[in-house]
Amino acid sequence: LKVGLAGLGTVGAAVARELSVKSELLAERSGRSIEVVAVSARDKNKDRGISLEGIEWFENAVALAESPDVDVVAELIGGSDGIAFDVVKTALERGRHVVTANKALVALHGVEIASIADEKGVALNYEAAVAGGIPVIKALREGLVVNRISRVFGILNGTCNYILTNMEATKRPFTDVLKEAQDLGYAEADPTFDVDGIDAAHKLSILAALAFGARVDFDGVYCEGIRRIAPVDFEYAAQFGYRIKLLAIAENSEDGVIQRVHPCIVPINTPIADVNGVSNAVIAEGDAVGQTVYEGPGAGDGPTASAVIADIVDIARGLIQPAFMRPASRLAPLQRGDLSQRVGAFYLRLGVLDRPGVIAKVTQVLAEQEISIGSFVQRGVTEDGAVNVVIMTHTTTEAAFGRALSAIESLSEVVEKPCKIRVEDF
Ligand code: NAP
Ligand code: HSE
C-alpha cells in the first residue's frame, strides 16, 4: 500500500518514523507491506529526524494528492480550509483513500467530503481527529454499532487538560503552562482553538454525528473556553470537593441533542476528575451496552501517529466503510435540543466591592430567579481591592441562571467579570 504524507510536522514526521521502524510488524499484521512513497511540507531542508531517501518530495501537496503512485493520502497539515481541504478533496475525487487527523476539516466539511468518498468507494478515515491515541471512532463506528447512544461526553482537548492540571498542581500562570503544552507539540497551530474550546467543539460535533446518526453540526455546539479560570478557582473548587475540567458533552434531551463545551466542576472522587495532563477520556452510553469509558493520551506525536496508522492499516486490510457509519446522503440534519432548559448547579465567583449590603443585593437577585444557594464563601481581597465572593447554587435552569447572572453583572458593586462554572455530577 503506497502512502503519501501531506504534512511532516509533529504528527506527519511521527507517522513516517513509525511506518519505517515498524514496517515488518505492520506487514505481518495487515497482510500487506505499507510504504511511504511521497511527502510534502513547506520546508524541504528542515531536519525532521527522519530519512526521506527514496521518497518523492512534492512542493505542492495537491500535486501529491493527484499522484497516480499514491494509494492513500494522509492529510496531516491542518486547518479547515485552504490547502488541507484542497488536498483531501482532490485525493478523494481521484479515487485515493484519505486518512486525516484534521478535526477542523471533518467538523466543517465532513459530510461534503464523505459524499465524495462514498461516490468513489474509498475510505475517509479520521481516528486521530478525535481524542488523539484513543480509538474512539472505531469504538463508536464498529464496537458499539448496535447501540442507540444517549450521551457521549468527556475530556477532548489535551492542551486544556494539561493546562488545568498543571495550573492546579503548580499554581503557575495560564500563559506559562500553555507555552509548555505548545513546546510538547500538543497545541493547535493557533492555540486559541484549544483554549477557547473550539478544538473540543470540533471533536464533539464529530462524535455527536456518529453517536446520533446525523450530519456534523459544529455550529450547533455551545462553546466556552478556559481563559476566565483563575488559579484561585482551583482552590475554591477543592474547598467544595471539586476539580475543574473542560468537558465536551453531547446528550439527547426531550427536544433534540444538546452539544456543549465548557469548563465544569466535577466531584473530586469521580473517575473523570482523575484524568490528568494531556490525557483525554470519552464516555459513551448506549442502550445495549450501558456506560463505556475510554481513556488515553489525547495529543502528541506518538499517540496521534498510532491512530493515523491504525486508519492506514484498516485500508490495507480492505476495511472500507462509510465515514459516518451510513452513506452521507442518508444523514439527516442533527435535531438540536434547547440548552436553556438544562438543569444543573453553578459555581459563581464574583469580584465585589467590600461594602455593606452587597451580598444582600446578590442574594436578592438569585432569590428573584428562585435560585437557592448551597454554599457561600467570602475571602481575601483581590489586587484591585475587591473581595472574592464564591457561591455554589443548588440546581436551577440555564435560563434562570442566565437571567440572574445578567442582573448581577449590572450591579455597580460587581467590579470584575464574574466567573461561572457549571457543576456536572456524572
Ligand atoms: P504541525 O506540526 O504544525 O505540522 C504541520 C505540517 O504541515 C508541517 O510539516 C508543515 O510544513 C506542513 N504544511 C503547512 N502548510 C503546508 C502547505 N501549504 N503544503 C504542504 N505542507 C504544509 O501540525 P501537527 O501538530 O502535526 O498537526 C497536523 C494535523 O494533525 C492538524 O490537523 C492537527 O489538528 C492534527 N492533530 C494534531 C495533534 C497533535 O498532538 N499535534 C493531535 C491530533 C490531531 P513545515 O514542517 O515545512 O512547516
Ligand atoms: N490540540 C489538540 C489537543 C491536539 O490539545 O487536544 C489533539 O487533537
246 in Cβ contact with 227 (< 8 Å): no
Q: Is 308 helix (H, G, I), strand (E, B) or coil?
A: helix
How far apart, in whole angstroms, are the C-alpha atoms of residue 158 and residue 246?
A: 10
In angstroms, rounded to a whole number, what is the distance separating the alpha carbons of residues 352 and 371? 20
Q: Which three cell numbers stand for residue 175?
A: 500563559
Q: Give residue 113's pLDDT.
A: 98
- 154: helix, coil or strand? strand
* CA 266, 270, 275, 276 torsion-angle sign: positive
Determine the straight-line distance between the first and last CA of the chain, rounded to whole angstroms. Answer: 44
CB within 8 Å of 82: residues ≥ 6 apart: none
Task: Supply the DSSP string of 173-228, one letter for each residue.
Answer: -HHHHHHHHHHTT-S-SSTHHHHTTHHHHHHHHHHHHHHHTB---GGGEEE--STT
Question: Which regions of 358-400 does DSSP assign to beta strands (E)?
Answer: 373-381, 387-393, 396-397
Q: pLDDT tens digits for the chain (426 residues)? A: 999 999 999 999 999 999 999 999 999 999 999 999 999 999 999 999 999 999 999 999 999 999 999 999 999 999 999 999 999 999 999 999 999 999 999 999 999 999 999 999 999 999 999 999 999 999 999 999 999 999 999 999 999 999 999 999 999 889 999 999 999 999 999 999 999 999 999 999 999 999 999 999 999 999 999 999 999 999 999 999 999 999 999 999 999 999 999 999 999 999 999 999 999 999 999 999 999 999 999 999 999 999 999 999 999 999 999 999 999 999 999 999 999 999 999 999 999 998 889 999 999 999 999 999 999 999 877 667 789 999 999 999 999 999 999 999 999 999 999 999 999 988
Query: Residues with Cβ < 8 Å from 43, sequence gap 6 or more?
Result: none
Position 181 scores a pLDDT of: 95
Indicate if 203 belongs to the active site.
yes
364-403, pLDDT tens digit by residue? 999 999 999 999 999 877 667 789 999 999 999 999 999 9
* Residue among 89, 103, 203, 245 flagged as catalytic: 203
Q: Is the CB of 158 under 6 A from ligand 2?
A: yes
Pairing of β 72-75 and β 2-6? parallel
From the alpha carbon of 300, which atom of ligand 1 is closest? 40
Pull the grid cell for residue 68: 497516480
CA distances from 263 to 61, 159, 175, 200, 334 (A): 38, 13, 18, 11, 24
Cell of 347: 459555581
In the structure, which protein residues have their CB atom closer than 6 angstroms to any atom of ligand 1?
6-12, 40-43, 46, 61, 76-78, 83, 101-103, 128, 132, 185-186, 188-189, 299-300, 304
Taking a C-beta distance cutoff of 8 angstroms, is the pair 18, 29 a contact?
A: no
Q: Which helix (H) or strand (E) holds 91?
A: helix 82-93
Q: Kindly give the distance from the C-alpha atom of residue 228 to the centroid of ligand 1, in angstroms, as a whole number.
A: 28
**Any idea how long the chain is?**
426
* pLDDT tens-place string over residues 164-211: 999 999 998 899 999 999 999 999 999 999 999 999 999 999 999 999
Considering just the CA atoms, what is the radius of gyration of the chain in Å? 23
What pLDDT does residue 286 have?
98
Give the number of whichever ligand sits closest to the CA of residue 193. 2
Phi–psi pair at 92, nearest 5 degrees: -65, -45
Cα-to-chain-centroid distance, residue 14: 21
Q: d(Cα 87, Cα 5) in Å, to the nearest integer?
A: 11
pLDDT of residue 379: 80
129 alpha carbon to ligand 2 midpoint, in Å? 9
pLDDT in the model for residue 299: 96
Q: Is 199 in the pocket of ligand 2 (CB under 6 A)?
A: yes
Residue 255 pLDDT: 93
Distance 199 CA to ligand 2 centre (A): 7
